[in-house]
Amino acid sequence: MNLAIIESVSGPVVRARPEGSFVMREAVRVGEKGLLGEVIRIKESEIVIQVYEDTTGIRPGTRIEGDGLPLSIHLGPGILGGTFDGLLRPIADISINGPWVEPGSVTSKSAHYYFIPQVVAGSSLQAGAILGRVKPKDGHEQRILVPPGISGVVEELVAEGEYRDDVPLCMLIDEDGTRHPVTMCHTWPVRRPRPTAARLPSDEPMLTGQRIIDCMFPIARGGKAAIPGGFGTGKTVLLETLAKWCNADVIVYVGCGERGNELAGLLEEFYQLEDPHTGHSLLKRTVIIANTSNMPVAAREASIYTGVTVAEYFRDQGLDVALMADSTSRWAEALREVSGLLGELPGEGGYPAYMSSRLADFYERAAKVRTLAGETGSVTIIGAVSPPSGDFSEPVTSHSRRYIRSFWALDANRAYARFYPAIHPLHSYSTDEERMANWWHAEGNVHWQELRTRFLTLLEEQAHLERMARIIGKDAMPAHQRYILMCAELLNEGFLRQSAFSEIDRSASPDRQAVMMRIIGEFIEQAERVVSNGVPPELISRLPVFRRLMRMSEEIPDGEWETFSELADTLNKSMVELADSGQPMEDS
């Protein structure tokens, strides 16, 4: 046990005189309440501690204790479906008095689970191997793993039945004859990535149900995305929509420095919504980590590592996990605040120079992997960024760009026009597009990439033509240009726009997305032919079928394939009729 005596306190930063040999990043307990902290700097006669809880009442002379171990969290079956603070301590009630955690408290109370062993005594188990599974009363089945770092031969294995999560299920006898008790829980240091057998290529998309993401700027399983956007552009609504409808098995939602009432709302909503994949409440597949704006600032820094460690824990059980962080900017601000108290030299935007590498440490942990047990699992990370006054050249946005693969730029003008999701198609990108195209192709949507490229070209042309239209007026533009504006309008309104609050459209299956893509592609092709035969585009946009296309996202639900094919037939017929009707020719 290491001991130190506090010499000064300034907010979350505490300086103390050590009477033992502390190590960097050692977890410590401060004062009688045992507030949690971490050693962040060591000098000859002084250590500096970052305290993760409110330091009011902590004075010089107070004792600090450490045991040489890094800041760790307690992982086990009780986590899924729970709400925790940045150090994975359960939050009793987030809605009434704001998030409240007993100062100095450690982990969840122990609970009972029904354990079903999957190995027999005498088996030789490697680290990360599956020992058995538990089935909580109304939640998802989970696996119990041999913790990373230990291996050996199973002895004294319990029979199937109900056990407390802190009693040994078996002993593992390692090569040296050392006996390691294995319980349902184990601890893991938050800043250390959990080991895997291999990193696998990200070759399939994580489907989000959002067309502008899945079809235009896809994210891979094991991928990483940033959502930068100014205030009110829809970052939180988008993250929540993704958390609800993406096809991950487990969601880890880190509320980092944002308002507490938003998280309370999320909790309420998730409780009521049904998981389309399992029929349970959505909350049962979710872990919420709350470090809202009214909670101690220093713990915010730890919260995203806690979040990603929890995500890796479920990944190691062979699951696909999605982690959402709202927002990485508030996290970076916490770094800046603590750095200022430490008297460090400020870098770009006042952020400490290590902000970028800390962001990298976080995003690096997104991956699709082969687990130690030989299964496939993934962690996909999506981080919101809130650049001050929506300026994407500021440090948190620009450094995030270096580490992510999908960039969903929210646009204030789109949001202002209530065009949601306000992802700007010309400012966003995905470097995984090529590989995701292979997946869509293998699923039978062979024109996915071609259509995607066609759509993007149209949107680029639209941006260019709209500038011109503002100057010379739309009516003065040649027919082909008016045709492009018409197609782009359909693409935006009928495809990219998708309300998070529409029962029919809040989430679109890949099949529905593919059908809609094809119909719009059909329209673009046929309309081009008709227009080049001299029919003015306005005659097309006045057709009843055009209005039906514009509204198909709101009107034709998933599974109504007949309605879609009837619509496609009507489109064909209407275009043929129009071409045959001998409309007045127009110079183009």
Ligand X SMILES: Nc1ncnc2c1ncn2[C@@H]1O[C@H](COP(=O)(O)OP(=O)(O)O)[C@@H](O)[C@H]1O
Which residues of the shown chain bind ligand X in the complex (CB under 6 A)?
229, 231-238, 241, 420-421, 499-501
Q: Does 202 bind Mg ion (CB under 5 A)?
A: no
Q: Looking at the DSSP assignment, which residues form a beta bridge with residue 159?
A: none
229 binds, among Mg ion, ligand X, none (CB under 5 to 8 A by kind): ligand X
Nearer Cβ to ligand X (238/578)? 238
Q: Which does 421 bind (CB under 5 to 8 A by kind): ligand X, Mg ion, none?
A: ligand X
| Cα 436 to Cα 455: distance, rounded to the nearest angstrom | 17
CB of 322 to ligand X, least distance (A): 17
Site residues (CB under 5 A) for Mg ion, limited to 242-271: none
50 or 236: whose CB is closer to Mg ion? 236
Nearer to ligand X, 196 or 241 (CB): 241
> According to the binding rule CB under 5 A, does residue 236 interact with Mg ion?
yes
Q: How far is the CB of 402 from Mg ion (least distance, A)?
A: 23
In the complex, the smallest distance separating the C-beta of residue 586 from ligand X, rounded to whole angstroms, is 39
- Are 505 and 496 contacting, i.e. CB atoms less than 8 angstroms apart? no
Give the span between the Cα atoms of 131 and 143, in whole angstroms: 8
Separation of alpha carbons 581 and 588, rounded Å: 19
Residue among 270 and 420 whose Cβ is closer to ligand X = 420
- Residue 499 partner contact from Mg ion, ligand X, none using kind-dependent CB cut-offs of 5 to 8 Å: ligand X
**CB closer to Mg ion out of 240 and 505:** 240
Q: Which residue is nearest to ligand X (CB)?
A: 234
Angle at 150 between CA 147 and CA 155, to 5 degrees: 95
Of 105 and 293, which CB lies nearer to Mg ion in the complex structure? 293
Residues 6+ apart with CB under 8 A from 99: 85, 91, 260, 263, 290, 292, 294, 295
Q: Contact between 210 and Mg ion (CB under 5 A)?
A: no
CA separation, residue 171 to residues 90, 166, 268 (Å): 29, 13, 41
In sequence order, which residues have a C-beta less than 8 Å from that of residue 314 and are 6 or more positions away? 80, 249, 250, 252, 321, 377
Measured from the CB of residue 335, what is the shortest distance to ligand X in angstroms?
21
Beta carbon nearer to ligand X, 385 or 552? 385
Find out whether 338 and 302 touch, Cβ atoms under 8 Å.
no
β-strands 376-385, 198-200 pairing: unpaired
- Shortest Å, Cβ 239 to Mg ion: 8
Residue 223's CB is within 10 A of a number of other CB atoms, namely 29
Residues in contact with Mg ion, counted by CB under 5 A, come to a total of: 2
Residues 421, 234 contacting (CB under 8 angstroms): yes
Residue 215's Cα: distance from chain center in Å?
18
Q: Looking at beta carbons only, is 142 or 233 nearer to ligand X? A: 233
Give the SS3 label for residue 485: helix
The smaller minimum CB distance to Mg ion, of residues 235 and 497, is found at 235
**Residue 526 binds which entry of Mg ion, ligand X, none, with Cβ cut-offs from 5 to 8 Å by kind?**
none
- Alpha-carbon span 573 to 581, nearest angstrom: 12
Which of 218, 244, 239 lies closest to 228, judged by CA?
Answer: 239
Three-state SS at 519: helix
Q: For Mg ion, which residue has the nearest CB? A: 236
SS3 content of the chain, % helix, strand, coil (to 5): 35, 25, 40
User: Using CB under 5 A as the criterion, which residues of the chain lie in contact with Mg ion when the complex forms?
Assistant: 235-236
